[in-house]
A and B are shown apart, each in its own frame.
Chain A
Amino acid sequence: MGQVVLKGINKFYESVHAVKDVNLQIRDKEFVVFVGPSGCGKTTTLRMIAGLEAISSGDISIDGNVINALAPMDRDIAMVFQNYALYPHMSVYDNMAFGLKMRKFEKPEIDKRVREAADILGIGELLKRKPRQLSGGQRQRVALGRAIVRHPRVFLFDEPLSNLDAKLRVQMRVELKKLHLRLGTTAIYVTHDQVEAMTLGDRVVVMKDGVVQQVGEPLELYNQPANKFVAGFIGSPAMNFATVTVTEANGSLIAENSGLRIKLPDETAQRLRGHVGREVTLGVRPEDLTVADTADLDHPCFDAVIEVVEQLGSEILLDMKVGEGVMVASIEPTARVKVRDKLRVAMRPSRLHVFDAKTEAAI
């Protein structure tokens, strides 16, 4: 079992309110990812769960037992650190065995578990080596192994892949996912990389300035972001935003600013009835923009000038000037476009996001 519940968690560093009233239920066997920009409180929250940081107020419980006052070692958790935190003077074997030795396991049991974990991670050959004789990826595996051998109720990961190069990171990401499916242990994972969050998490917790912005499955965050921050943070390239004023003309709603004037589709218009005459932020993802042809005539459209063309092979990213602002569109790789082309761009009507200009909450 490994059900973790955070109830009204706060953390103050003297006058800084680093984590604000976090409430969260993490189910047994679930893989939950905390994601957000640096300084958002995600690592602090993880460290409070680990017991490495005191909780200013609130309760953390594992399987129904409040663990606020328990020392890290009594919480039945294992943690993988960003810099691996391998003991440099011990061999790989001793690194992995250390936790079991401290817990007074019998030698044969320690040996069995270490070799088992080494097999899973493919580091059986490295057991006699010292950490400094290993590559970054191998060290990361040893750090994972040290966590696995303990058979804890919860795994905590603090940006474990951020020190690896891009290629290795993708590879380890897949392995982590496999490992989680195999072991089925509850995992809490902290990262600032939204791709990692989307690919690894059963659920993702987006944080900013110590406040949880949204908790949900990856696609839920992507398709129904709760506010402008989540919308902009999740997805790459990031969502395009434009501040527009809502006006009414002939019974339909129009969104306009200096360079943009579009008729809002019915579904969006429904939500914006109460905002006529006010400013809102329009959001549309790059892949929901297309070069307009006759088929899209009833879609909301606007004019743009191409400033940069980024050929990625699988797609083309267009940096376009739209009125005063800039938007990015992701279009078919076969499209023939060049810099300074004038385009008519269409938006997929069902994929239009609208946020309150002041509170930034989704409307």
Chain B
Amino acid sequence: MAIAETQVYLPQAPRPRLRLLEDERWLAFVLLVPTLVLLGMFIAYPFVRGILLSVSSARVGVPGDFVGLANFYKIFNDGIFRTSAYNTFVYTGVTTVFKLALGLWLAMLLNRNFRGKAFTRAFILLPFIIPTVLSTFAWKWMFDPTFSVLNWLLYHLGLITSRINWLGDPDLAMISIIIVNIWRGVPFFAISLLAGLQTISPELNEAAAIDGAKPWQRFWHVTWPLLLPVTMVVVLFSVIQTFADFQIVYVMTGGGPANATHLFATYAYQIGIGTGILSEGAAIALAMFPILFLVVIIQLLYIRRVEVR
């Protein structure tokens, strides 16, 4: 009893809950929870839900039954789906090549010293900063069959004699959306590659110049190999974004004329939301997944190889 009555003055111990956070494993868990919740709610859950939808016969207002791979069987026999798939590859391939080439060119220019460099760099970012829907609407007007400023310009330059129906012709419509995507995507490439270029010591280029390398050789033997890891990451991001692009096509053509410019995303939207066949829409959207997954794996492996070198 005597012992229990003895008062012992110790430095005040932290409350148990705080002490738990001293343990790095618990702290890490607590710090990760918000991200886990967000990723779970907005990525994992919709993804799983999408898979479940794609193997059902759900429509708007109809829960539907399990139908196995019937939806996939149906869409692979759908001509518009095949066109969409083809379009998506063309759209992604062509725009990525142009965005990389133009972005690299811009980055090299911006990497030089000139008056108003900071201003130009900020200016270059404009297409990237403006909300896509807004700028795409502006482009839509520029490609408008009646009011096209492009037609006006070409006409007054004497290059054309009659109106070009940019968005009315299947091929021209495809070219138009490709142009808009390139316009919007180049700044991202330019700024990212510029950041990459700035990590390359200028001394390396000087050393190469003294070593007898001409400008093109300096680019090919020194700059390009050193920029490759950054380039691969930028291309990876861009391919993923472009492959799943929606806004530009939706605003410009809505997939038309006659479904000629549908991409995976817009066609999935049209079937799933527009027509209300949720299950088929989900199947179309999911068809992108294996392809994107493959692209990501290949590029990540490549990036690792480049970095290890």
Contacts and interface: CB of A to CB of B under 8 A. Distances in A.
Contacts of A77: 210
B211 A81 contact: no
B207 A81 contact: yes
Contacts of A52: 206, 209-210
Contact of B207 (A51, A71, A79): A79
Contact of A98 (B203, B206, B211, B309): B211
A87 interface: yes
B211 A89 contact: no
A89 B212 contact: no
B206 to A, nearest CB: 5
A78 B226 contact: no
Contacts of A50: 206, 210
B213 A85 contact: no
Given A88-B226, A89-B225, A89-B309, A102 B210 contact: no
Contacts of B210: 50-52, 72-73, 77-79, 99
Nearest to B204: A85
A102 B207 contact: no
A103 interface: yes
Interface in A95-110: 98-99, 102-103
B209 A72 contact: yes
B201 interface: yes
A71 B206 CA distance: 11
A146 interface: yes
Main SS of the interface on chain A? loop
A344 B213 CA distance: 65
Contacts of B226: 88-89
Interface in A126-152: 130, 146, 150
B206 A72 contact: yes
B165 to A, nearest CB: 50
A85 B203 CA distance: 6
A83 interface: yes
A146 B206 CA distance: 14
Contacts of A88: 226
A356 to B, nearest CB: 42
Contacts of B201: 83, 85
Q: Which among B201, B209, B211 has the highest number of chain A CB atoms within 10 Å?
A: B211
Given A98-B221, A102-B217, A81 B206 contact: yes
Contacts of A82: 203
Q: State the 5 A-B residue pairs at the shortest beta-carbon distance, nearest first.
A: A99-B211, A102-B212, A85-B203, A73-B212, A85-B207
Interface of A: 50-52, 71-73, 77-79, 81-83, 85, 87-89, 98-99, 102-103, 130, 146, 150
Interface of B: 201, 203-204, 206-214, 217, 221-222, 225-226, 309
11 contacts: A52-B209, A73-B214, A77-B210, A78-B210, A79-B206, A85-B203, A85-B207, A87-B204, A102-B211, A102-B217, A146-B211
